[in-house]
Structure 1
Amino acid sequence: MLRFAANLTLLYPDLGFAERIGAAARDGFDGLECQFPYDWPAAELATRATDAGLPWVLINTPAGDWAGGERGLAALPGRETEFRRGIDTALAYADALGCRRLHTLAGVMPDGADRQRCLATYAENLAWAARQAVGAGCDILIEPLNPRDVPGYLLATQADAHRWVQVIGAPNLKVQMDLYHCQVSEGDLATKLRQHLPSGRVGHLQIAGVPGRHEPDDGELNAPYLFALIDRLATGHDLDPCWIGAEYNPRRGAAPGGTAAGLGWLAAARAPHVVV
């Protein structure tokens, strides 16, 4: 069964962050995710989600100086202590929220950085994070980001991410497969889904329209076909529920009600489809 999580960092920009939880419930989402919840008390976010009847599905671990262009710390030599503090913080939030998926960003390679040293740092940090998370019943997720939006990011392809999961070998280290980033970087989404979903290494999916990162039905993706294919693959490979995060910028921007006005794709996703 497909379940859809509203990404509260991007959706409902006309509302305060905590108020977005109730809006997601009213609009028919099944769960919640966000990039960085750390500016809000975990207890309040947990209570609001419980009141709305929606689970927290995914949060990101702290990612450094986001406003300054940093996109994660896991592969940055010399930042290990900060990275590990961030994992501890994320695990505390995950415990309070009842969230079991933590996306850990690798980072953008600094100018002049020794790539091999960055890769070694990444391996050590991922293995450490997975060990800390397993006791909390959490998965650590890694996600390839496309080089158009995030130049210099360590992971750009699905193959890269799956290779890391295999190399580290931790059962709770998995791939976050964002179909927007995958389409921009590689394309051939249906083949990628058929290849990777049955592997057991995919812990979460996300989607947005391409090229504008708006609603999934805005642009070149055939969202109904992809949803039907994911549903079939998930059913056939014991991925129930299969969570898909709606991580996009509403094309109506911050206009009041703009997010709700663009949710025709969500209603369509509930309808039965045939995969050819």
Structure 2
Amino acid sequence: MPKFAANLSMMFTEVPFLARFKAARAAGFTAVEYLFPYAEDKAAIAAELKAQGLTQALFNMPPGDWEAGERGLASLPGRESEFRAGVATALAYAEALGCRQLHAMAGLRQAGVSAEQHEATYVANIQYAADQAAKQDVLVLLEPINSRDMPGYFLSTQVQAEALLEKIDRPNVRIQLDFYHCQIMEGDLTRTIDRLWGKFSHIQIASVPERHEPDQGEINYPWLFDYLDAKGYDGYLGCEYRPRGNTEAGLGWFAPWADKE
């Protein structure tokens, strides 16, 4: 049976962040994810997770100056010290929240920096992050992000992520397979699942092209859910979508899997 994690950066934004945990559980979710937890006290988040009986499925390592447009540090030469500090911060939150997966955003390509320099920096940084994360039995995830939503992002295709996995060569590094991004960049989702089987540990979903609820658009999500179930996927499906309107009003698609206990 598919397991879904509500993305609290996009869903239930009708209420403040710490109130979204209760709203997600009331809607039937048993797990949550979000972009970043660092604006909140980790003990306060941990208390909400415990109170609501929720699993923390995933969050991102610090991305640099998000408000200034930075989208990660992992591939940026000269920012290694800041990246390593972010790894330590993320792992401290992961320990407090019982989270076993962290996504390291790659960052935007920089003027005057070659593709080879970006890649070498990325590989070395992810190796460092993976070695640190292994001490807590945490996975480090690589997520290709489409070039329409995030122009200039270093990592944009599953093919590139596969090649990087080999170069990184760490047992606790996986791909974060976002069907929304993958459909825009590559499509062929079923064959991509088959090709990447064993290399990804988290999936994210949203409609294409509008990134709304997964009940419309060009991806047949019910079919993919059944396909993943038949193959034995036991990870979470992160609902990283922007609701068309009120979050709860758009959850009709989720009703068959909601935990109402």
Pick one of 239, 243, 261 that aligns with 2:249: 261
CA–CA distance in 2 between the matches of 1:115 and 1:159? 16
Secondary structure of the equivalent of 1:140? strand
Counterpart of 1:172?
172
Verify the 8 A CA contact 1:180 1:210 in the aligned structure 2.
yes
Pick one of 218, 221, 225 that aligns with 1:220: 218
TM-score by length of 2: 0.96
Question: Is 1:75 aligned with 2:68?
Answer: no
Verify the 8 A CA contact 1:74 1:105 in the aligned structure 2.
yes
Verify the 8 A CA contact 1:224 1:268 in the aligned structure 2.
no
Counterpart of 2:28?
28
Q: CA deviation at 1:111?
A: 2.2
For residues 83-123 of structure 1, give each alpha carbon's deviation from its aligned partner in whole angstroms, at most 9, with x where no partner exists: 00000000000000000100000111012322211111111
Listed as ranges, the gaps of 5+ residues in structure 2 are: none
Which amino acid is the alignment partner of residue 237 of structure 2?
A: I
Deviation beyond 3 Å, 4+ runs, structure 1: none
Secondary structure of the equivalent of 1:155? coil
For residues 24-46 of structure 1, give each alpha carbon's deviation from its aligned partner in whole angstroms, at most 9, with x where no partner exists: 00101120111100000111101
CA RMSD of aligned residues (A): 1.1
Q: CA deviation at 1:218?
A: 2.6
1:1-150 alignment, distance < 5 Å? 1-150=1-150
Secondary structure of the equivalent of 2:66? coil
Verify the 8 A CA contact 1:224 1:269 in the aligned structure 2.
no
Which amino acid is the alignment partner of residue 251 of structure 2?
A: L
- Structure 1 window deviating more from structure 2 (156-165 vs 53-62): it is 156-165
1:174-253 alignment, distance < 5 Å? 174-197=174-197, 200-233=198-231, 235=232, 239-240=233-234, 242-252=235-245
Verify the 8 A CA contact 1:180 1:209 in the aligned structure 2.
yes
CA–CA distance in 2 between the matches of 1:188 and 1:3? 23
CA–CA distance in 2 between the matches of 1:190 and 1:262? 26
Number of equivalenced pairs: 258
CA–CA distance in 2 between the matches of 1:30 and 1:185? 30
Secondary structure of the equivalent of 2:123? helix
For residues 154-173 of structure 1, give each alpha carbon's deviation from its aligned partner in whole angstroms, at most 9, with x where no partner exists: 11111111221122111100
CA–CA distance in 1 between the matches of 2:83 and 2:118? 14
Listed as ranges, the gaps of 5+ residues in structure 1 are: 253-257, 271-276
CA–CA distance in 2 between the matches of 1:267 and 1:81? 45
CA–CA distance in 2 between the matches of 1:98 and 1:269? 24
TM-score by length of 1: 0.91
Secondary structure of the equivalent of 2:17? coil
